[in-house]
Amino acid sequence: MDELYIQKVLNGDVQAFRYFLTTYKDMAYTIAVSVVKDEFVAQEVVQDAFLKAFGNLQHFNKRSTFRTWFYRIVVNEALKRLKRQRKEKILYGQEDNDAAVDNSMLLNMQKEEQVKMINMALDKLAPRESLVLRLFYLEEQNIKSLSKLMGLSVANIKVLLFRARKSMLQVCGELLKRSKM
């Protein structure tokens, strides 16, 4: 279906690009939020990514799916924005506490509380770690597609997933400790 709309846009039907907006906006936003950790900035990143995709659609070479190509643009735009933000302000480091997760407490939480806790933890992770966890578990992307999407080797994706899980466990432990107090 994507190929049909790509061809329509390339043939001058600008309105056909709406298909891509409606199809990919939610996941693009999720990816952007994973990286930049700010909802408003993520909206700007998604808008920039769509503009870039529209402007460069003639360069789409179909070596991957449109989805992979576009999500890669979103990741790149989000990382650019993050880099720009770091240059503009001083970042304060987070405390580095060792925390063990009480799995039984996490399991006993209500579904809503679990979702809230997971989203809070994802927001505290490094951008690439948050992104890889969201894509792997929530979007059920496989390691090969993550490799293409993030521009990393399969081995690097596996390492990143391992580190992200470890970080997620630590952050969840810290959040659970705070909620007990």
CATH value at residue 109: 1.10.10.10
64 and 125 co-located in one domain: no
69 and 137 co-located in one domain: no
- The closest of 79, 53, 75, 76 to 66, measured between CA atoms, is 53
Say how many domains are in the chain: 2
71 and 120 co-located in one domain: no
Q: Among positive and negative, which fits the CA dihedral 86, 40, 44, 164? A: positive
**59 in any annotated domain:** yes
115 and 160 co-located in one domain: yes
74 and 119 co-located in one domain: no
Domain boundary among 64, 88, 112: 88
**94 in any annotated domain:** no
Domain boundary among 88, 118, 144: 88
**Domain encompassing residue 15:** 2-88
**65 in any annotated domain:** yes
26 and 70 co-located in one domain: yes
66 and 10 co-located in one domain: yes
73 and 145 co-located in one domain: no
**150 in any annotated domain:** yes
Q: Give the C-alpha separation, 53 to 5, whole Å.
A: 13
63 and 34 co-located in one domain: yes
- Between 108 and 178, the more confident residue is 178
What pLDDT digit, counting tens, does each position of 19-30 carry? Answer: 999 999 999 999
Query: What is the pTM (predicted TM-score) of this model?
Result: 0.62
CATH number, position 11: 1.10.1740.10
pLDDT above 50 (res 150) = yes
Under the banding of pLDDT at 50, 70 and 90, the label for residue 46 is very high
12 and 68 co-located in one domain: yes
What pLDDT digit, counting tens, does each position of 112-137 carry? Answer: 777 787 888 888 888 888 888 888 88
110 and 57 co-located in one domain: no
Distance (Å) of CA 4 to CA 8, 16, 19, 65, 71: 6, 9, 10, 13, 19
114 and 150 co-located in one domain: yes
